[in-house]
Structure 1
Amino acid sequence: MTQRLAATSSGLETAASLLRAGKLVAFGTETVYGLGADATNPTAVARIFEAKNRPRFNPLISHFHSADAAFQQGVACSLAYKLADAFWPGPLTLVLPRAPGSTVSDLAADGLSSLAVRVPRGENVQALLRAVGRPVAAPSANRSGRISPSDAAHVLEELDGRIDAVLDTGPCVVGLESTVVDLTTPDRPLLLRPGGVSVEALEAVCGPLTFPETESDVAPQSPGRLLSHYAPLLPVRLNATSVYASEALLAFGPDHPAGSGAIWNLSKTGNLEEAASRLFAGLRYLDAEGQKLGLTCVAVQPIPSHGLGLAIQDRLHRAAAPRPI
């Protein structure tokens, strides 16, 4: 049975003690709930892959309470400091060369010479990371390939009994995973994954970003790049301008097609930040409600490609991709 810990001083202390002891603890950040383990402990990290049924050993993001702590593990260039000043704590992950004295296990880094590091935003997660005092590896706290959790209840739906505890810090504010930028070649910053920091905001600080031409260009440096990912059990149909009676509808904006037996509107006002925060909860709701009603698909209205729309589109394209056999 997985403990559900309140975000109190005693709950935080218990969560930190469990992590230091090599246990698995899910916790909320501003993006999604992460499944945390001591990144310096390869046995603890291996339990992440087992709990998630993760099909292959991808590099994991290591989380820190401060930029100074992160840059002790990854070698920072001047651009890394600029981005950290602008967006940390916050939903940005930097891929840096691993520092010679890095204590992050090879398993967490997938044996690479680079390391993905992040300083998440939020009073509770900051307190937890300070109390642990070590890098914490934390991919999303869900079964591999499934919808990411934006609430503690989502974590327990999938991982109850498979992990030691979940620290309930309430719903996630951003609701999408972090943006990942590769700075291993400092004069050529590469966007590996769109996320909670928009491309426009990044480029205002670092100048033009390079975009990978193919999925293979980013593997294995970044998590979240499986072709089929973030997927409900029902198939997903994108850019729907009409909806069949047999389909659930993921709507966006004030106007949506009629005829669906189940509807979740990401944002009635067309606000992309609100849409991002409600995306994974909406996919979970429509998946469960659609199956109850005997529906066969989730239709998705078109989403704009500016701001956080690019990250929303990325998650939806992966949710709609052909499922692995």
Structure 2
Amino acid sequence: MTLDKMEKLSLEQTVSRSALVELEGVVLIEPVHRTFDQVQKFKARPDDLLIATYAKAGTTWTQEIVDMIQQNGDVEKCRRDTTCKRHPFLEWSFQNPPSARYSGLELAEAMPSPRTIKTHLPVQLVPPSFWEQNCKVIYVARNAKDNLVSYYHFHRMNKGMPEPGTWDEFVEKFMNGKVLWGSWYDHVKGWWKAKDKHHILYLFYEDMKENPKQEIQKIVKFLDKDINEEVLNKIVYNTSFEIMKENPMANYTKDFEGIMDHSISPFMRKGAVGDWKNYFTVAQNEKFDEDYKKKMADTSLVFRMEL
């Protein structure tokens, strides 16, 4: 057996998928749950920017856009480190294997201001200091069906996530909110409601795909930045899916080695709108639509399932 194979084998033995734990009705994985009290006590600073999303809703994309704006379109500066080191993933904590050890909390606490921080927490679990300091938040929401498909593939390739089970099983878990970070429905609705009383820019993944320039301009304005047309076009180009997919500082090929297996499914897979049609059966789609209608009846929030 080659050394490579032995290393791979020993990693497979040491990285066991995390157990799920419920906290206030929200599903978390055990390592995140373990450090949650510390996360709650996190001290936000007034100039912190929080990027919040449900997992696989365009988080890395938004992080890259924000960084490009902050660095005035300087591509080299945006490649100073990987995404999760530039923008600490607040609640994410992982000790094993040591090569993939990560504590977003420690990273954030050690970082000089101004900080950009990422979270997948539903609004009610966000550390209170963010509201106390009146921090700016950018929230991105993606339609439920595409979000589900992307999340399923992410579970398949990421050993830090719970076992997804079959596609059928995962659809059921997603509909019932029994997946990591809880119910998609509660997540998008909770943040939608919160935007009326906090400093939140609420964006839609579908709008970003359809007209990236327009949505990037919204972010520029929200951040009180001023950039010229040339820099804006540069940001649009460098944050396109095709360019980011090849960028090792954004495509997660340099982080969480032994945890993410890009041969099963790349971290940046398709980035498309409407890909759900390749996965949902007619029966699944009908069942999902009926359930969706009930769960979204109490909100003014509207999503586009295709462009």
TM over 0.5: no
* Greater relative CO (CA pairs within 8 A, separation 6+): 2
Q: Judging by fraction of residues, say which structure has more helix.
A: 2
Q: Judging by fraction of residues, say which structure has more strand.
A: 1
TM-score, length-scaled by structure 2: 0.28
